[in-house]
């Protein structure tokens, strides 16, 4: 296992870069508690949270929450 150590400034810059390139989800402050949600700025990410009111399931298991199937298997004769 590799261990990666960074400082706060580099972490904020990396998260902000990821937000600019892709949708990034993480723990945000939802007064008075915390919840997983889409991040629009790196300073919204909270790594000092205790528990969250919303679980990350909809982000980790998107197929369960999707209105469309992720893929369709078909069997042909041939």
Query: Is residue 29 domain-resident?
Result: yes
Tally of CA atoms within 13 A in the half-sphere of 7 that contains its CB: 2
- Residues with pLDDT less than 70, the chain: 59-78
Query: Is residue 76 domain-resident?
Result: no
Asked whether 32 and 52 are in contact (CB, 8 A), the reply is: no
Query: Is residue 75 domain-resident?
Result: no
Query: Is residue 57 domain-resident?
Result: yes
Q: What confidence score (pLDDT) does residue 72 get?
A: 59
Q: What confidence score (pLDDT) does residue 70 get?
A: 55
Query: Is residue 3 domain-resident?
Result: no
Q: Which two tokens stand for residue 27?
A: 């723990």
Q: What confidence score (pLDDT) does residue 65 get?
A: 52
Query: Is residue 42 domain-resident?
Result: yes
Question: Could you give the number of structural domains in the chain?
Answer: 1
Query: Is residue 77 domain-resident?
Result: no
Query: Is residue 53 domain-resident?
Result: yes
Beta bridge partners of 28: 35
Q: Domain of residue 36: give its range.
A: 8-65
């Amino acid at each position: 296992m590799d261990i990666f150590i960074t400082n706060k400034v580099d972490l904020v810059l990396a998260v902000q870069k990821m937000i600019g390139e892709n949708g990034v989800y993480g723990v945000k402050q939802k007064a008075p508690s915390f919840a997983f949600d889409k991040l629009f700025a790196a300073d919204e990410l909270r790594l000092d949270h205790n528990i969250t009111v919303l679980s990350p399931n909809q982000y980790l298991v998107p197929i369960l929450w999707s209105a469309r199937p992720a893929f369709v298997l078909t069997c042909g004769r041939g």
